[in-house]
Amino acid sequence: MLDTGDDTFMTAAAAEPARRGGVARRGMKRAFVFPGQGSQAVGMGRELALAFPAARLLFEEVDEALAQRLSLLMFEGPESELTLTENAQPALMAASLAAIRVLEAEGGFDLPQKIAFVAGHSLGEYSALAAARAFSAGDAARLLKRRGRAMQQAVPVGEGAMAALLGLDVEAGQKVAAAAAEGQVCAVANDNAPGQITVSGHRAAVERAVAIAAQYGARRAIMLPVSAPFHCPLMAPAAAVMAQALGEIAFAAPLIPLVANVSAAALRDPGALKRSLVEQVTAMVRWRESVLFLCAAGVEEVVEIGAGRVLAGLARRIDPGLAARAVGTPAEIEALIEEL
pLDDT tens column, 129-183: 999 999 999 999 999 999 999 999 999 989 999 999 999 999 999 999 999 999 9
Residues 239 and 275 sit within 8 Å (Cβ to Cβ): no
Is 202 one of the catalytic residues? Answer: no
Query: From the candidates 96, 121, 227, 231, which is the catalytic residue?
Result: 231
Nearest to 216 by CA among 162, 184, 285, 169: 169
Is 122 one of the catalytic residues? Answer: yes
pTM, two decimals, is 0.93
Residues 35 and 287 sit within 8 Å (Cβ to Cβ): no
Query: From the candidates 122, 227, 276, 290, which is the catalytic residue?
Result: 122
* pLDDT in the model for residue 340: 79
Residues 135 and 156 sit within 8 Å (Cβ to Cβ): no
Distance (Å, whole) CA 290 – CA 314: 11
Per-residue model confidence as pLDDT tens digits over 239-297: 999 999 999 999 999 999 999 999 999 999 999 999 999 999 999 999 999 999 999 99
Sheet holding 196-202, edge to edge: 186-193, 196-202, 160-166, 220-223
CA dihedral of residues 112, 98, 308, 193 (deg, nearest 10): -30
User: Band of the pLDDT at 227, cuts 50, 70, 90?
Assistant: confident
- Per the prediction, the chain carries an average pLDDT of 92
Distance (Å, whole) CA 323 – CA 25: 10
